[in-house]
Amino acid sequence: MPEETDTARQELADLHALAGAMAAESERFLDTATEVAAGNHPDAAISLLLLALADLSAAGARLGAVVDVVPPQRFEPDDGEEPDADPLRLGLANAFDGLDEYREVPDPLVDNVSVSGSLSADLAEVALALRRGLQHHRAGNVLEALWWWQFSYLSNWGDRAAAALRTLLSILAHVRLDIPADVAADAQFDALHADAD
């Protein structure tokens, strides 16, 4: 019997540690997204969000890898009003003006048609789910927060984060690799002659 109690205690401690790590990662992502939406880092916006989403996706993968979290209560506690994602979404849409819309296949296992997506909408959905979990975490409902993050990761924000990450990577690749042929040829010529010297 004491062995079972120790095991249960350790499992609970592990879940609390996971929730703490997820809360910290959520805060980092939300801070970065808010900074970008405010227009504070226009030249680094893509890179900052790429890094923030990659870190957040790694945290989300841990949520997907653990067994289902079951909160002690069978109802969601009222830990505050539903967060509003519209100001963040509008700020991000402004930051990504001309780059916000993209095409994707919603479920590559069952769909074979593409649909329109929006980078700002994806990031706002991710932020909304993270904020809801943070509300529970800050109110002391740690397992409820962890359940919420895990459930919403599997049902929504994990997919939206992955779509946004793919889109940001695509934008970055185009910015860095789509250079005029004459510029590429000049750089290649200079590189070849630099080796000869």
Q: Where are the domains of the chain?
A: 2-196
Confidence at 101, pLDDT banded by 50, 70, 90: very high
135-142, long-range: CB < 8 A, 24+ apart: 135/79, 135/80, 135/83, 136/77, 136/79, 137/19, 137/23, 138/79, 139/77, 139/79, 139/80, 141/71, 141/77, 141/79, 142/15, 142/16, 142/19
pTM across the whole model: 0.81
pLDDT digits (tens, 9 = 90+) for 113-168: 888 999 999 999 999 999 999 999 999 889 999 999 999 999 999 999 999 999 99
Nearest CA to 146 out of 125, 127, 129 is that of 129
Please state the rounded mean pLDDT for residues 84-102: 93
Please state the rounded mean pLDDT for residues 50-73: 89
CATH number of 2-196: 1.20.120.1550
pLDDT at position 66: 85
pLDDT at position 152: 93
Is 2 a residue whose pLDDT tops 70? Answer: no
